Amino acid sequence: MLQLINIKNDFAIGVMSLNDVDEVYDLEHALFKPPWSKKVFRDELALSNRRYFVAKSNDSKSFDQVLGYGGVALMVDEAHIVNIGVAPAKQRLGIATGIVGALLISAIESRFTSATLEVRVSNNAAINLYTKFGFVPVGVRPNYYPDNKEDALIMWISDLDSSGFKEGLLELLAKYHFDHKGLQEK
């Protein structure tokens, strides 16, 4: 089972389970309007084409605390990243980088060649994050977000299966201090 250990900042990325839903919901509630309910997360985890990961603290003071989460829906011909969030106090430590990395590795393992997502046009933090992985803007969905009618930027990667993409992904994870032993063989 995929696990990424961050050797600098004392956290690890692993598969999300039903036991994590309460803590994930607390983060979701703090980060998104409107938030997904706990039931939506439980229903998502039950779907065979979803992959969800959580970042958990490895620090002895807060061991196993959920610091971030994210999921991907493996649709017919594209891996669609559906959400990603990191505890405000733990941002800029590479947690989202590890989660997006894990989501893309699971898409590659399932032989997907394209990945996509929508992001608010004003969300520079997330756009910067996705750009680091090679996502490029391909269009806009006008008035996509119901709370303020903000447009969504649609971003794509279309070469998940290329050796260049995999090398770049491993380099990025190494730069953010993830131990990725074993992934190179995949």
Ligand X SMILES: CC(C)(COP(=O)(O)OP(=O)(O)OC[C@H]1O[C@@H](n2cnc3c(N)ncnc32)[C@H](O)[C@@H]1OP(=O)(O)O)[C@@H](O)C(=O)NCCC(=O)NCCS
Catalytic residues: 118, 130
Q: Is 116 in the site for ligand X (CB under 6 A)?
A: no
Query: In whole angstroms, how close is the CB of 108 to ligand X at the nearest point?
Result: 19
Quick one: which of 37, 122, 124, 143 contacts ligand X (CB under 6 A)? 124
Site string for ligand X, 91-110 (x = CB under 6 A): xxxxxxx-------------
Which DSSP category does 76 fall into?
S
The nearer residue to ligand X, 45 or 117, going by C-beta atoms, is: 117
The nearer residue to ligand X, 91 or 113, going by C-beta atoms, is: 91
Q: Is 123 in the site for ligand X (CB under 6 A)?
A: yes
Query: In whole angstroms, how close is the CB of 157 to ligand X at the nearest point?
Result: 15
Binders of ligand X among residues 9 to 68 (CB under 6 A) are: 31
Residue ranges in 48-158 assigned as alpha helix (H): 95-109, 124-132
Burial 68-97 (b: 16+ CB within 10 A, else e): bbbbbebeeebbbbbbbbbbeebeebbbbb
Q: Are 121 and 152 in contact (CB under 8 A)?
A: yes
For ligand X, the binding residues (CB under 6 A) are 31, 84-86, 91-97, 119, 123-126, 128-129, 132
